[in-house]
Amino acid sequence: MRKRLAVALVLAAALSLSLSPSLSAAFQRSDVRVHTLANGLKVLLVEDHNIPNVALYTYFRVGSRNERPGLTGVSHFIEHMMFNGTPAIGPGEFDRRMEFAGGRNNAFTSDDMTGYTDWFPAAALEEMIQMEADRIQGLAFVPEVFESERGVVASERRMAVENNNDAILSENVRATAIMAHPYHWAVIGWMSDILSWRRDEVLAYYKTYYAPNNAVLIVVGDFDPSAALTLIRKYFGPVPASPPPPPVSTVEPPQQGLKTVLVRKEAQTPSFQAVWHAPSVKDSDFLPLDILARPLLEGESSRLYRRLVREEQLAIRVGGGAQATIDPFLFTIDVKPRPGADLDAIDRVIEEELAKIKAEGITPAEYEKAMNIIRSDFYQGLQTIAGRAGRLGWAEILYGDFGKVFTLMDDYAAVKVERVREVAQKYFQENNKTIGKLIPEGGAK
């Protein structure tokens, strides 16, 4: 069983970045050849002959954000089904052909998108394009396979969520903090929905969102752009467009008071999470919050690691931050407490550190640390053809423009250190906060 759920988060973290002068000289917007087929498929081609390989990524504008009660988790389920055959290519054959050609593939589903990632020797380009074009339009949804994969996803939920105390708490906190918007549920969906999906509803969802006019195809690597475009037109061109999917119109209402989630269950150690409503990736407040997350949460020199792990010895690790999403989501602080730790004391320490930032901001040294981390992550991400393909697709889906990859550094550089204090004052308010505590039965406070 593939492990795909968290891949989008890795891309999102790396994509909150941009180009250095030296890197931009090697990879520029002019290197991306853009074409749109008559059926609406957007194609991005980047020629790179450094190695004889190709990265072919297909991103669809569909994720758990596009679901509804009764069909939660279906975007992730269809991702699984995309490897289970069409009338032309039987179950498992996609993987077998890919591996026989010397390639590898994977996929992920997030709140906002679903992505399919192929890496292979250049000689296999036509076969890979042909197979991707086949499964964008022809999933078989054979009843026996449908039921088998339903069982796989249900098992995945049991393992990843229901048998994971931190995940159980996170799911409860998310569903409490977000009431109205489809971000209310996690990508995996609710178990009752997983067990009751109807084949006809899933097929209708697939036909709505798996259409060329709802996708972007990115090809990076060792190929001739004209020849590649000819192949793409040959295999993707005949795929019919679908009517535009319905828009997501629900807006989460402002939170009107502190919310607290208490989960009591058998556990060895407690869990703690605090979240605040945060802006979308396109909001001008997002980048300052993303910068703030680094000195607050990232690394052993971060403020909360020093206080909670080293000094107070209340926790063994901290993490979190702002997630890049199409609509407003959450800023998260995850804490793994030590056995028997006082969870209220953890919350007090967090509030003390946030109060300092709201009063004084972060230091110039902390700001520079944050920018260094951001730049380093980005540079590493763009060193490979796969990294470039992923980042272009990510930006195209979230921003509606792949070109954002080439301007993000300027956007970050324009954020002055004073802005970090301003957004901290704006978002880290009690009325905007939800606290989650998982308390072992008969155990910690």
Q: With contact defined as beta carbons under 8 Å apart, do 33 and 91 qualify?
A: no
* Long-range contacts of the stretch 153-159 (C-beta < 8 A, 24+): 153/73, 153/76, 153/77, 153/80, 153/188, 153/194, 154/191, 154/194, 154/195, 155/1, 156/1, 156/188, 157/73, 157/188, 157/189, 157/191, 157/194, 158/191
pTM over 0.85: yes
The pLDDT value recorded for residue 159 is 97
User: Residue 445: pLDDT above 80?
Assistant: no
| Per-residue pLDDT, 369 | 93
β-bridge pairing 215-221 and 259-265: unpaired
H/E stretch holding 21 reads helix 21-26
What confidence score (pLDDT) does residue 342 get? 97
Question: Token digits for 110?
Answer: 């997030």
Residue 441 has a pLDDT of 86
Q: Does 304 have pLDDT greater than 70?
A: yes
Q: What is the CB neighbour count within 10 angstroms for residue 241?
A: 14
Whether 11 has a pLDDT exceeding 50, the answer reads: no
Mean local confidence (pLDDT), 233-262: 97
DSSP secondary structure letters along 251-270? -PPPP-S-EEEEEEE--SS-
Question: Are 84 and 145 a contacting pair, CB within 8 Å?
Answer: yes
Does residue 127 register a pLDDT over 60?
A: yes
Residue 92 is given by DSSP the state T
pLDDT at res. 380: 84
Query: What are residue 339's phi and psi, to 5 degrees?
Result: -55, 130
Alpha helices, H only, 114-262 = 125-135, 143-157, 165-177, 191-194, 199-209, 225-236
Segment 342-354 mean pLDDT: 98
Cβ atoms of residues 360 and 418 within 8 Å: no
Residue 215 in 3-state DSSP?
Answer: strand
Name the one residue in this structure whose structure tokens are 């609509």.
Answer: 327
**What is the band of 366 on the pLDDT scale with cuts at 50, 70, 90?**
very high
List beta partners, residue 323.
none
Residue 442: what pLDDT? 62
Asked if pLDDT for residue 251 goes beyond 50, the answer is yes
Helices H / strands E in the chain, number of each: 17, 11
Higher-pLDDT residue of 164 and 378 is 164
pLDDT at 204 over 80: yes
pLDDT of residue 316 exceeding 70 = yes
Q: Give all strands of the β-sheet with 215-221 in edge-to-edge order.
A: 32-36, 42-47, 215-221, 53-60, 114-121, 104-109
Eight-class DSSP state of 338? P
**pLDDT(7) > 90:** no
- Domains of the chain in sequence order: 7-236 (3.30.830.10), 259-440 (3.30.830.10)
pLDDT tens for 73-109 read 999 999 999 999 999 999 889 999 999 999 999 999 9
Chain-centre distance for alpha carbon 310: 31
Q: What is the mean pLDDT of residues 281-310?
A: 97
pLDDT band at 23 (very low <50, low <70, confident <90, very high): very low
Percent residues over pLDDT 70 in the chain? 93
Q: How far is CA 18 from CA 45, 333, 404, in A?
A: 19, 25, 8
Span 168-194, mean pLDDT?
98
CB within 8 A of 70, min separation 6: which ones?
193, 196, 201
Share of the chain above pLDDT 90, in %: 89
Given a cut of 90, is residue 385 above it in pLDDT?
yes
Whether 25 shows a pLDDT value over 90: the answer reads no
Provide the angle, in degrees to the nearest 10, between the axes of the packed helices 286-297 and 343-360: 120
Any idea which of 273-277, 289-293, 316-320, 375-379 has the lowest mean pLDDT? 375-379
Mean pLDDT of 429-438: 98
